[in-house]
Structure 1
Amino acid sequence: MTDTSTDHLLTGILSPQTRRQDRSLPDLDRTPDPWESSMQATCECLSWRGALDNLERRHAEDRLGETVYVDYPVQARSALVVTHLLMEQGILDEQELRSKMAQVRARLEDV
């Protein structure tokens, strides 16, 4: 299932400072960031519409999160795996991803 070109694309888009240094377990009692809640709701909608099965996504998070994306924070892994799966299914393409990432970076720089 792992597409190494997708892996390289996703890890190449992220800046080196996004890699995690701390290998301890995440704080499970924390309140999720707004983007995490939005992503979870989006995943639920994609599952409901049949585009991205929740169980398949969770299995992929386990598999890819502890191998391909292990160097990234636990919370970011979910987003990486969802993006990976959407690209693998042809729902999202490389140009669209690069464009959206540039928009997000520009918006964050303006803050």
Structure 2
Amino acid sequence: MSDPSRTYDILMETLDDIGERTDTSLRCIEHEPEVWENRMQATCEALSKNGALDNLERRRLEDRMGESLYVRFPVQTRSALTVAHTLMDREVFTEEELRAKMKGVRAKLEEV
């Protein structure tokens, strides 16, 4: 089980990029999903199907972490944060590996 009290600097640092949650009503989840949100959902489905991270377990973790650790983050980002958090807890990849991957993605986006 993932530790909802443990923090990872790499995940907390993304708040500077995305910005703090400003809408506290449920309307913030009533929107047309962005492309990355659809892809994230597909990734979660694949992780669940392959037994790496059960959808129900992820949703429970997302609820717990979203109400505590990730409360300042926009609702739409919490799935990504929860999945990354859980996979690092399970030692699928390290915080340093995620940091390096994110750096590479940012570099590619700057080229465009």
TM bucket (normalised to shorter chain) is 0.7 to 0.9
Flag structure 2 segments of 5+ consecutive residues without an equivalent: none
| Cα offsets for 1:3-26 (capped at 9, x unmatched) | 5243x4410354265222333331
Alignment RMSD, CA only?
A: 1.8
8 A contact 2:29–2:76 mirrored in 1:
no
* Deviation beyond 6 Å, 4+ runs, structure 1: none
Change (3 A) 1:41 1:27: closer
2:111 maps to 110
2:42 maps to 41
SS in 2 for 1:59: helix
Greater Cα shift, 10-19 or 79-88: 10-19
| Cα offsets for 1:41-73 (capped at 9, x unmatched) | 111111111111111000001000111001011
2:4 is aligned with 1:2: yes
Q: Which has the higher contact order (CA 8 A, sep 6+)?
A: 2
1:75 maps to 76
8 A contact 2:10–2:99 mirrored in 1:
no
The TM-score with structure 1 as length reference comes to 0.85
1:95 maps to 96
Superposed, which structure 2 residues align to 1:51-70 within 5 Å?
51-70=52-71
Matches of 1:37 and 1:99, distance apart in 2? 24
Flag structure 1 segments of 5+ consecutive residues without an equivalent: none
